[in-house]
Amino acid sequence: MSYAWIIPVVIGVSYLLTASLRKYAISRSLMDVPNARSSHVVATPRGGGVAIVVAFILSMVFLSATGSMSVTAFLAIAGAGAVIALIGFMDDHGHIAARWRLLGHFCAAIWLLVWLGGFPPVSLLGLDINLSWAGHLLAAVYLVWLLNLYNFMDGIDGIASVEAICACLGACLLYWISGLENLIWAPLLLAAAVSGFLYWNFPPARIFMGDAGSGFLGIVLGGLSIQAAWASAPMFWAWLILLGVFIVDATFTLLRRLLRGDKVYEAHRSHAYQFASRRFGKHLPVTLAVGAINLFWLLPIALGVTHFGLDGVLGLILAYVPLIILAIKFRAGDLEVSTIKN
């Protein structure tokens, strides 16, 4: 039986929920007002990412009920995602101290890993290596970093949505070619949920995702990557490659700020994509460039890893080196005062 009809349904649910959330945010004055650390200039409703959360979790309930997704995978990904979305929602509407947010993030990551069976053996330069408890610990850190970097990278119109859609559809293609059709539905429906929201978030954005949506996307994408790693070791490297734009920009920026002694928990505008959007004077070229990099550079390399025998580590290096060069070119992590031009 074909369930293709659920794709437009998920898009429609996300679209309509985002519209409703936008009206709600405007009526309650839940607006993101521009300040010195903002990349936008117009007060914009926030919290639209809740539509992604609701649409995707409902679709996962359907997948689990029809046997298209295992109950353990559902509990892992939906459970962790819901916790992160709730933390983000509460932070969007008030403030949660960083230490409590971080504690919640690690609890969600551990929950996800317990249900998925931890972190599987990895293929490293042709060797299968079981990292045991060290691997589980590293996986928890990976998940927490991914959900936080996704929050950091959600700073201009449409960029977080485009990244998620490209990564998910790219993974679907890799699954299909590799004979892992049973894994396709979750990333496909996540892309559908994000697409309904993107209509409202595409530059110029009429609503922002908020921490509830960005953190949710980060941990769900991380969960999907670990789920894929259990099915095929090269798939984990493929996911790291597909998410390369966000991973490289956020990590490179964080390391530079740490080395300079900055308070890394404070808001800033020193990511490469933020400098790029100010250089071009608008968000659209940067958001479209992220999509192009994913489609024409990262996806072919990920395909090489999963289908043409390219070693995962070598593929990762090949994918990331140009991204690091771009990060340097656009001064990721540089002092804002030295480069901002109004």
DSSP three-state, residue 269: coil
Are 146 and 222 spatial neighbours (Cβ–Cβ below 8 Å)?
A: yes
Residue with token string 């819901």? 82
For 97, list phi and psi in degrees, rounded to 5. Answer: -55, 145
Q: What beta strand segments (E) does 8-166 contain? A: 31-32, 44-45, 122-124, 127-129
DSSP three-state, residue 205: coil
Q: Which residues pair with 122 in a beta bridge?
A: 129
Q: Which of 51, 52, 69 is nearest to 60 (CA)?
A: 69
Q: How far apart are CA 225 and CA 122, in angstroms?
A: 12
> End-to-end CA distance of the chain, in Å?
57
Q: How far apart are CA 71 and CA 67, in angstroms?
A: 8
The reply to whether 249 sits in an annotated binding site is no
Binding residues for Mg(2+): 151, 211
Q: Return binding residues.
A: 151, 211
